[in-house]
Amino acid sequence: MDIVAAVVMGIIQGLTEFLPVSSSAHLILVPWFFGWDPEGLIFDVAVHVGTALAVIAFFWKDWVLLAREVLKGLAERNPFGNARRKLAWFIVIGTIPAGIIGLMFEETVEDKFRSPLVPIFTLVVFGLLLLYAEKKSRQNRELKSYALADAIWIGCAQAIALIPGVSRSGITITTAMLRNSDRTSAARFSFLLSTPIIAGAGLLKAFSLFKTMNDPAAEVISFTVLGAGFVAAAVTGFFCIKYFLRYLSRGSFLPFVIYRLLLAAVILIFYFVGL
């Protein structure tokens, strides 16, 4: 993979991490379409960390307030004393299922689910589920009204996103809306909830990479390529969050569902017809 390809992949990651169209599917499919030699999961993690930086930078005021309230709550022995304290702990609780599943099944997903055929099914099924959620949801609940049960349900849903084509933002937004959240609140909670998982995955992979750097059989990594992908993902991700939240204040998820269905059809054609 050269620098141009890395930048393209970083831009795609920055867009698809936060849009409900599946970043993992695109990181598999784009190199497959263009015949690029992908860097593998290490490159995937580099661009995921870039998007983690994007979401931290965009919501930095929220993170500062949440951290401050957690410390105050612990000092006062009243950890759930207000809406911000509850939200902070809901993020912690919601992160646990995906963290456990990721640690247990990461190698299985890496070995078994990186075929272009996997996203055909998941793009369609979870895209239609998102459309159903939007139609069914009353959308009468804001982020401040979230409860512990919401965090558990959304957190468990996030664990499913390990499978390419599901979409982390898509499945968490879908679950939130099935619990009658409005679109913007669902997206904000989804983005906040994704941050520890994305950042944690990056740290674990970085640690694994550090341990194997002196191994002659280890994968050769171009840090220039990784850096190009990382920067492209971070910048694109930041602006994607900004304009996606603005769009959700008045727009629906229908265009993203249509995109998912069309993408699945294109994959099917490319794979079986060999265009």
Summary mean pLDDT of the chain:
86
Dist. CA 57–CA 62, nearest whole Å? 10
Dist. CA 126–CA 120, nearest whole Å? 11
4 pLDDT band, cuts 50/70/90, is confident
Count how many domains the chain has: 1
Closest CA to 1 of 219, 265, 202, 184: 219
| CB atoms near residue 150 (< 10 Å) | 21
Per-residue pLDDT tens digits for 218-232: 555 677 888 898 999
Determine the distance from the C-alpha atom of residue 129 to the mean position of all C-alpha atoms in its chain, rounded to a whole number: 17
Could you tell me which residues are beta bridge partners of residue 141?
Answer: 181
> What count of Cα atoms within 13 Å lies in the side-chain half-sphere of residue 267?
24
Q: What is the pLDDT of residue 89?
A: 95
Q: What is the pLDDT of residue 48?
A: 78
Dist. CA 215–CA 213, nearest whole Å? 6
Q: What is the pLDDT of residue 198?
A: 79
268 pLDDT band, cuts 50/70/90, is confident
Per-residue pLDDT tens digits for 151-171: 999 999 998 888 888 999 999
Q: In Å, what is the CA distance from 242 to each residue of 142, 153, 188? A: 19, 26, 11
Q: Specify the amino acid at residue 180.
A: N
Closest CA to 176 of 20, 70, 17, 15: 20
Residue 42 and residue 223 in contact, taking contact as beta carbons nearer than 8 Å: no
| CB atoms near residue 34 (< 10 Å) | 10
pLDDT above 60 (res 173): yes
Instruction: Report the phi/psi class of residue 144: left, alpha or beta, with left for phi > 0 and alpha for psi in -120 to 50.
Output: alpha
- The residue that leads in pLDDT, 101 or 201, is 101
Q: Decide: pTM greater than 0.75.
A: yes
- The proportion of the chain whose per-residue pLDDT surpasses 90, expressed as a percent, equals 51
> What count of Cα atoms within 13 Å lies in the side-chain half-sphere of residue 144?
3
Phi then psi dihedrals of residue 141, to 5 deg = -120, 130
Residue 9 and residue 230 in contact, taking contact as beta carbons nearer than 8 Å: no
Q: What is the pLDDT of residue 113?
A: 64
- Six-digit token string for 272: 């079986």
| CB atoms near residue 268 (< 10 Å) | 14
- The residue that leads in pLDDT, 46 or 16, is 16
Closest CA to 41 of 88, 120, 102, 97: 102
Per-residue pLDDT tens digits for 233-246: 999 999 999 999 99
Task: Find the range with the poorest average confidence among 44-58, 63-77, 142-156.
Answer: 44-58
Per-residue pLDDT tens digits for 74-125: 999 998 989 999 999 999 999 998 888 877 776 676 666 667 778 888 999 9
Dist. CA 34–CA 106, nearest whole Å? 26
- The residue that leads in pLDDT, 23 or 83, is 83
Q: What is the pLDDT of residue 192?
A: 94
**DSSP-derived secondary structure for 204-221:** HHHHHHHHHTT-TTSPP-
Show the domain range for 104.
3-273
